[in-house]
Structure 1
Amino acid sequence: MDSEYLIYAVTDRRLHPHLPLEDAVEATIKGGATIVQLREKEMSGKNFLESAVVLKDLTASYNIPLIINDRIDIALLVEAGLHIGQDDIPLTEARRLLPTATIGVSVSTVEQAVAAEQDGADYLGVGSLFPTATKQDATFMSRVTLEQIRKAVRIPLVGIGGISETNVSLLDSLVDGYAVVSALFANPEIERTTKKFKQTVEQVRQSVSDRV
């Protein structure tokens, strides 16, 4: 397992309106987040860039990666990684513009997963694995499909969608990382919540390892 993706914190400033975005992100890093994605669908381009600059400096100071959701122009400007979906810029073009950056791709089928790996994705976002209020239009991924993707590709899988302390054990070893939004950022004690979530994840993974 690539531990870089283990606790994948995905931002949503709507969940902490009274706490600056950079403070919320730093709290989750202190709690054990291993990678951060800036994903703010309702933020203007100017504010998104300003936030990306601040978060790039912050994550660099903790030596963890920053991933930009969708906005390849901003990923280029701040020298960050990129996460794209099936309707965003094609992965082949993204890789041409960002030859050395970490690029992740959201997939919902085995075919999409295999194609993304072949086209140079570093990791795959798989889901939605559980019901989620963060993305109302998310397509649910069955366990069968997740298992098929796990067998079909070699690159890391990052599960997303409704993941919380109460259900990580249901994923066994099918994913390499856990992308979490509300389970971290909706809690007023973000650092403590992240630390507790990470401990749960590590316990689950140790339990799986002991069974092998």
Structure 2
Amino acid sequence: MTSRETPWIDFNFYLITDRRNTAGRELCAVVEEALRGGVGAVQLREKDLSSRELYELAYEMRKLTSRYDARLLINDRVDIALAVDADGVHLGGESMPIYRARMVMGEKKLIGVSCHNQVNAITAQEKGADFITFGPVFPTPSKAVYGEPLGTAKLEEIASLLQIPVFALGGIKRNKVPEVVACGVHGIALVSAVLTADNPRDEAREIIALLPEEHED
């Protein structure tokens, strides 16, 4: 992968939240364990919360990620991201356009974009995204709406085409990490592999040990 990475993307493990997928445990407690294990970035993705509830959770998550010197991105909601001084936002297909989010947030905030095909990925880069998540790579119920898994061949193609960091997403468990890393991605994004683990800290640590070493520009 040719590198055009911004100095702010200093993580290769991107944890996406789902408070309904924590085996009954409180979300912030599970995320903190993952942060203790070395997770470098958290995307707060709780679409069903009211604006007030999301703000309050984002505020707590900002305090938590700051304590561990980790990045916080808010799914879709630019206003919430700005309100809690998050490190950026993650946009989907129905979100605010990338250029508009950049105008509102400025150059020093991260913009990640969910991509599910080559056109999405190239467009996101051209429009100014700092990084993308690409998937689903493997079968996963949460991404079934996007159709059949894309597989590692398409992931490798995207990783070689793009200059911005690519994070593999979708059905990635610990045993799949080496296969994904071999595709040349910058890192991985996942949900359940850590959130549902009996010991999120140890699971995060073991997954990170399989990832390529982080590097600075």
Partner of 1:169: 178
Letter in 2 for 1:158: F
| Larger RCO (CA within 8 A; separation ≥ 6) | 2
Matched, 1:51 2:60: no
Residue 16 of structure 1, CA deviation: 2.1
Runs of 4+ in 1 over 3 A off after TM superposition: none
Letter in 2 for 1:25: V
Letter in 2 for 1:105: V
Matched, 1:41 2:51: no
Gaps in structure 1 of 5+ consecutive residues? 207-212
Is residue 5–residue 178 contact of structure 1 (8 Å, CA) maintained in 2? Answer: no
Matched, 1:194 2:204: yes
Matched, 1:114 2:122: yes
Deviates more, 1:146-155 or 1:158-167: 146-155
Deviation sequence 1:105-146 (CA, Å, 0-9, x none): 111222222221122111011000001123331343243432
Residue among 101, 106, 131 paired with 2:109:
101
Partner of 1:84: 91
Matched, 1:32 2:41: no
2: CA distance, partners of 1:142 / 1:196: 23
- What is the identity percentage for the equivalent residue pairs of Structure 1 and Structure 2? 33
Residue 189 of structure 1, CA deviation: 1.4
Matched, 1:67 2:76: no
Gaps in structure 2 of 5+ consecutive residues? none
2: CA distance, partners of 1:131 / 1:4: 28
Letter in 2 for 1:187: A
Instruction: Tell me the number of residue pairs that the alignment of Structure 1 and Structure 2 aligns.
Output: 203
Question: Normalising by structure 2, what TM-score?
Answer: 0.86
> Aligned in 2, Cα 1:144/1:197: closer, same or farther, shift over 3 Å?
closer
1: CA distance, partners of 2:119 / 2:160: 12
RMSD between aligned alpha carbons? 1.8
Partner of 2:169: 160
Residue 167 of structure 1, CA deviation: 1.0
Residue 17 of structure 1, CA deviation: 5.4
Residue 46 of structure 1, CA deviation: 1.6
2: CA distance, partners of 1:143 / 1:31: 26
Deviates more, 1:48-57 or 1:109-118: 109-118
Residue among 109, 133, 149 paired with 2:158:
149
SS in 2 for 1:36: strand
